[in-house]
């Protein structure tokens, strides 16, 4: 081991750090470590310098080596953990931060970082406790604010919504230029039944008024984007949620099949970690650009560098969002859609996609954006985002309503527990009182812990719910959809109604009782049931809510008949018609673009703008009146017509058929294992096709061949049944 004196380097290391010369600092650290492999200062700084250059894997490798030499150095550990958290590797960061808290228990930052680490891991009790320790120890303004931030985010998950909002407001008062607390406050306000749409709008406008004005003078004019009104546009989708996330249930179909004759699709990814869903998005998009770790200004510059015409925010005021990049005006036309059921509060965002039911005619005052109301539902659902092929498995098919076997009605909710306020639970108690022997199933985080479940039962009892009639089910993503087999009738919370959960419920065949509200956050149930033509399940009052629930519960046979036919209703409705939605969404983008061109050519002259729009309409390409042919993204940067994907699939099947037959499984545990590489290739390509074009009959028939070759008769028959049904819809 080298032990030469490295003291002469100390001043140079400090100078490079102060100058933020990360390349030089990296070189100096390595020189020091060649002389003395245990030099603490160089170990502390090497990983830091590499992370600043976005060389995250190299930074983590440097920290791993440093940790081996200095496992008890708190400063090194906290910097190591920081990079792990930035890369969403919180599981690895947690033991490091627990050690930091042991080494420096009197420093607020130790507990702040521990609380931050706990959030993504859903360790909210532990995170909240750490935040309170941090608050007690905080002496600086930054630490006091950070402790409040961590307290707020964990409180919200623990059901303390109003206290969480208060923490955010206190933090904003301390540090008004910290954007995170505005975002958290807005997100938490959604779940508070005492917060009106006007209050939510005012809070969002406060965010915009704080962060936009300094940037507005430098917004680009985008003259280079002006030109032919019908040219192919570059459309960017900005999101942290191109991964296993609820947003993907509504965006995958659009990314896969938005008309490529008109649009070139860019996916700008804001989250640091990828998964198997991210890989699918990389195939669907024409370009996939990672923006995590860049500053908002850098993100805006990178988006502008791609020449984006229309930028679409998919997150709103949710975690890791890109709204601050949009305050820099990253594209000529900026739009928000989907991720947040209220306004962004930004004048930089020009439009919000919605529909005429979810946002009623008098809703415009609630928004800084111009509402663009689609002539269909505001979003289009695709089930089984985490595991798309599971939608064809027998265990996910609709089953008879459980009351037929149980002899009693089970009401249920699988919504986020934060939506289940005292008012909601109290009304559900009235439903149980009115329906003899009925039960209430509630699925949620923390129900696996006896202390949490017992406390929840006591809370329910205090609100008039008989604890003996409660079924509390731990949240497990592996059971998504399966829990609905245990529920007869779903109950929607209010005022923040279910979103993705309501789509899931209806697709699984369950009727749902939903309360009519007065703004987007409280009208998602209204819009879904309106476009499904099931408005009889919408309640105008608590009494109406109880009446509808009781009516549905009154006849188990009728309930079962309804259940057996509901999935077909949902799949045929606007809730799942991707072809209809994608057409209207693309039409909306073109309208927004034409308006921008007209305004750019004739500013402040509405009459001239109208004439320009009228003069352009005859130039609409005639071929756009016909639906685009489906395409399949085989890999990033390679899209082919569906017909070509079919040819490739058939070639793979032919190869697999002439290869040695797969060995039959000798045990049940091996039954799902596939040995033949040829059949594996068929399965992989068929899944890629179905991710682009759900229910494609050729891909389904190929999967039936795969299952038949492996002796899985039930699965083979199921795939063939779906293929046959899909063929009927094509005729």
pLDDT grade, residue 600 (50/70/90)? Answer: very high
Q: Comparing 98-107, 156-165, 659-668, which segment has the lowest mean pLDDT?
A: 659-668
Tell me the mean pLDDT in the region 595-599: 97
Write down the pLDDT at residue 668. Answer: 46
Tell me the mean pLDDT in the region 297-311: 98
Q: pLDDT tens across 203-226, in order?
A: 999 999 999 999 999 999 999 999
Write down the pLDDT at residue 671. Answer: 45
pLDDT grade, residue 149 (50/70/90)? Answer: very high
Pairing relationship of beta strands 512-515 and 233-239 according to DSSP bridges: unpaired
Write down the pLDDT at residue 157. Answer: 84
Q: Do 207 and 345 form a contact (C-beta atoms < 8 A)?
A: yes
Q: pLDDT tens across 262-273, in order?
A: 999 999 999 999
The owner of tokens 């989708």 is: 237
Residues 6+ apart with CB under 8 A from 240: 269, 270, 271, 292, 315, 318, 319, 320, 321, 322
pLDDT grade, residue 661 (50/70/90)? Answer: confident
Write down the pLDDT at residue 467. Answer: 96
CATH of domain 640-730: 1.25.40
pLDDT grade, residue 478 (50/70/90)? Answer: confident
Q: Do 520 and 364 form a contact (C-beta atoms < 8 A)?
A: no
pLDDT grade, residue 664 (50/70/90)? Answer: low
Q: For the chain, what are the domain ranges?
A: 7-194, 216-221+231-374, 398-572, 578-621, 640-730
Tell me the mean pLDDT in the region 433-438: 97
pLDDT grade, residue 667 (50/70/90)? Answer: low
Mean pLDDT score across all residues of the chain: 94
CA–CA gap between residue 208 and residue 327 (Å, rounded): 8
Write down the pLDDT at residue 84. Answer: 96
CA–CA gap between residue 287 and residue 282 (Å, rounded): 7
Q: Find out if CATH 3.20.20.70 is the number for domain 216-221+231-374.
A: no
DSSP string for residues in 322-349: -HHHHTT--SSEEEE-SS-SS----TT-
Tell me the mean pLDDT in the region 423-429: 95
Residue 228 scores a pLDDT above 70 = yes
Residue 660 scores a pLDDT above 70 = yes
Percentage of residues in the chain having pLDDT higher than 70: 97
CATH of 398-572, one of 3.40.50.2000, 3.40.50.1220, 3.20.20.100, 3.90.700.10: 3.40.50.2000
Residues 6+ apart with CB under 8 A from 561: none
CA–CA gap between residue 416 and residue 157 (Å, rounded): 9
Q: pLDDT tens across 175-202, in order?
A: 999 999 999 999 999 888 789 999 999 9
Residue 446 scores a pLDDT above 90 = no
Going from the C-alpha of 654 to that of each of 641, 658, 688, 706, 723, the distances in angstroms are 21, 7, 18, 11, 19
Residue 97 scores a pLDDT above 80 = yes
pLDDT grade, residue 416 (50/70/90)? Answer: confident
Percentage of residues in the chain having pLDDT higher than 90: 89
Residue 438 scores a pLDDT above 80 = yes
Residue 713 scores a pLDDT above 50 = yes
Q: Find out if CATH 3.20.20.70 is the number for domain 7-194.
A: no
Would 7-194 and 398-572 be classified into the same CATH topology?
no
Tell me the mean pLDDT in the region 720-724: 94
Phi-psi region of 637 (alpha: psi -120 to 50; beta: other; left: phi over 0): left
Write down the pLDDT at residue 267. Answer: 98
Residue 721 scores a pLDDT above 90 = yes
């Amino acid at each position: 081991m080298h032990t030469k004196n490295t003291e002469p380097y100390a001043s140079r290391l400090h100078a490079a750090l102060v100058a933020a010369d990360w390349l030089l600092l990296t070189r100096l650290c390595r020189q020091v470590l060649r002389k003395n492999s245990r030099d603490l200062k160089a170990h502390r700084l090497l990983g830091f310098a590499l992370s600043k250059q976005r060389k995250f894997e190299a930074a983590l490798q440097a920290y791993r080596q440093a940790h081996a030499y200095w496992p008890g150095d708190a400063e090194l550990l906290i910097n190591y953990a920081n990079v792990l958290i930035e890369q969403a590797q919180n599981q690895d960061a947690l033991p490091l931060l627990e050690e930091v808290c042991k080494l420096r228990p009197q420093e607020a930052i130790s507990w702040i970082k521990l609380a931050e680490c706990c959030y993504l891991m859903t360790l909210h009790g532990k995170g909240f406790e750490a935040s309170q320790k941090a608050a007690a120890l905080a002496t600086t303004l930054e630490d006091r604010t950070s402790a409040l931030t961590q307290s707020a985010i964990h409180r919200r998950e623990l059901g303390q919504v109003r206290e969480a909002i208060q923490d955010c407001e206190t933090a904003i008062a301390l540090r008004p230029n910290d954007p995170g607390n505005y975002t958290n406050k807005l997100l938490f306000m959604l779940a508070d039944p005492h917060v009106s749409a006007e209050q939510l709008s005012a809070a969002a406008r406060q965010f915009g008024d704080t962060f936009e004005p300094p940037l507005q003078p430098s917004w680009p004019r985008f003259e280079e984007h002006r030109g032919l009104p019908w040219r192919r546009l570059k459309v960017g989708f900005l999101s942290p949620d191109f991964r296993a996330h609820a947003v993907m249930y509504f965006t995958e179909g659009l990314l896969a099949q938005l008309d490529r004759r008109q649009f070139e699709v860019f996916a700008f990814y804001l989250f640091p970690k990828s998964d198997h869903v991210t890989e699918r998005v990389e195939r669907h998009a024409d370009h996939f650009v990672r923006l995590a770790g860049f500053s908002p200004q850098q993100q805006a510059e990178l988006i502008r560098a791609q020449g984006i015409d229309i930028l679409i925010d998919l997150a709103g005021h949710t975690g890791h969002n890109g709204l601050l990049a949009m305050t820099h005006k990253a594209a000529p036309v900026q739009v928000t859609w989907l991720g947040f059921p209220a306004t962004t509060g930004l004048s930089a965002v020009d439009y919000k996609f919605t529909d005429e039911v979810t946002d009623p005619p008098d809703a415009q005052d609630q928004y800084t954006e111009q509402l663009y109301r689609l002539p269909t539902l505001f979003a289009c659902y695709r089930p089984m985002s985490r595991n798309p092929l599971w939608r064809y498995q027998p265990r996910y098919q609709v089953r008879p309503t459980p009351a037929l076997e149980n002899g009693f009605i089970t009401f249920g909710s699988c919504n986020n527990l934060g939506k289940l306020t005292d008012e909601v639970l109290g009304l559900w108690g009235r439903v149980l009182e009115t329906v003899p022997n009925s039960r209430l199933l509630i699925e949620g985080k923390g129900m696996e812990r006896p202390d949490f479940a017992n406390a929840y039962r006591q809370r329910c009892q205090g609100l008039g719910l008989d604890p003996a009639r409660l079924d509390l089910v731990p949240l497990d993503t592996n059971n998504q959809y399966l829990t609905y087999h245990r529920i007869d009738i779903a109950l929607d919370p209010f005022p923040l109604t279910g979103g993705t959960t309501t789509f899931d419920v209806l697709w699984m065949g369950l009727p749902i009782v939903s309360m009519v509200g007065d703004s987007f956050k409280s009208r998602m149930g209204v819009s879904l049931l309106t476009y499904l033509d099931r408005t009889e399940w919408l309640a105008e009052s608590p009494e109406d809510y109880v009446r509808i629930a009781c009516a549905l519960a009154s006849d188990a046979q009728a309930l079962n008949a309804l259940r057996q036919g509901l999935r077909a209703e949902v799949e045929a409705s606007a809730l799942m018609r991707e072809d209809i939605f994608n057409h209207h969404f693309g039409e909306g983008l073109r309208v927004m673009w034409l308006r921008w061109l007209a305004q750019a050519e004739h500013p402040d002259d509405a009459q001239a703008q109208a004439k320009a729009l009228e003069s352009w309409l005859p130039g609409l390409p005639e071929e756009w009146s016909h639906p685009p042919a489906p395409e399949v993204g085989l890999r990033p940067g390679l899209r082919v017509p569906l017909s070509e994907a079919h040819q490739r699939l058939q070639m793979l099947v032919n190869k697999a058929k002439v290869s040695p037959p797969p060995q039959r499984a000798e045990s049940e545990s091996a039954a799902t294992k596939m040995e033949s590489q040829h059949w594996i290739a068929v399965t992989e390509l068929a899944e890629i096709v179905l991710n682009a074009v759900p229910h494609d009959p050729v891909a389904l028939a190929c999967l039936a061949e795969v299952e038949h070759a492996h002796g899985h008769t039930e699965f083979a028959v199921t795939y063939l049944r779906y293929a046959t049904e899909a063929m009927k819809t094509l005729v």
